[in-house]
């Protein structure tokens, strides 16, 4: 397995993008964008057939790409697909039913610190900025704090820190095959796992 995650957060914009190569021929993708007072935009695609370039993901009505522009310095993250608007983010764990809306994102990630080794990979702090196109217009994300991880191995350790206390703030959750659940809440230092 191999996985890349990008998370970003501020009081006005927060989100997560993740891409996991799970088998020789399959990949999973998750993306979510949170803004206060707005439905959560949520995307989960599993069973993606891997391509010769595994960093490009395509399926029915879905395209995503993670491009390393300069190693340990700059990434571009893009997608064009349908997101589900969720009024209650935890609905993502029980089928993610909601209003399907077209969405496209063009995000740039820039390193602000060197990478740091973690169990099975590394993490790196940076900033993220860009645009998310929605049915209501373009949401411009100014430069916000960000973190990315890259991990690999037969089993993956958690990419997100574990929350130490109960948390009632913004929530993003993803449910993948084989009972893989990523349930996140936002604290001042980024997204943390509930479990």
Rg (CA), the chain: 15
Q: Determine the pLDDT at residue 24.
A: 79
128-171 pLDDT, tens digit per residue, is 999 999 999 999 999 999 999 999 999 887 788 887 666 778 99
Q: Determine the pLDDT at residue 161.
A: 83
- Grouping H, G, I as helix, E, B as strand and the rest as coil, residue 94 is helix
- For residues 98-117, give the mean pLDDT: 97
DSSP 52: S
Domain ranges for the chain:
2-193
- For residues 108-114, give the mean pLDDT: 99
Rounded Cα–Cα distance for residues 48 and 60 (Å): 10
CATH domain 2-193 topology: AttH-like fold (2.40.370)
**CB-based contacts of 43, cutoff 8 Å, min separation 6:** 29, 30, 31, 32, 62, 79, 81, 82, 83, 84, 103
Global confidence as pTM: 0.94
Q: If you average pLDDT over every residue of the chain, what do you get? A: 93
3-60 pLDDT, tens digit per residue, is 999 999 999 999 999 999 997 789 999 999 999 999 999 999 999 999 889 899 999 9
């Amino acid at each position: 397995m191999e996985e890349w995650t990008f998370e970003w957060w501020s009081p006005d914009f927060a989100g997560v993008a993740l891409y996991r190569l799970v088998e020789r021929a399959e990949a999973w993708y998750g993306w979510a964008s949170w803004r206060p007072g707005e439905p959560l935009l949520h995307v989960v695609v599993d069973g993606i057939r891997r391509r010769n370039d595994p960093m490009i993901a395509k399926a029915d009505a879905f395209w995503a790409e993670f491009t390393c522009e300069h190693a340990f310095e700059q990434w571009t993250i893009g997608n064009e697909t349908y997101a589900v608007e969720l009024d209650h983010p935890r609905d993502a764990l029980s089928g993610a039913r909601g209003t399907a809306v077209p969405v496209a994102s063009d995000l740039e990630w820039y390193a602000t610190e060197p990478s740091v080794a973690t169990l099975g990979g590394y993490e790196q702090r940076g900033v993220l900025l860009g645009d998310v196109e929605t049915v209501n217009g373009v949401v411009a994300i100014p430069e916000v704090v960000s973190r990315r991880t890259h991990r690999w191995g037969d089993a993956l350790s958690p990419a997100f820190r574990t929350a130490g206390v109960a948390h009632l703030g913004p929530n993003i959750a993803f449910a993948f095959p084989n009972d893989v659940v990523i349930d996140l809440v936002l604290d001042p230092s980024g997204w943390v796992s509930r479990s």
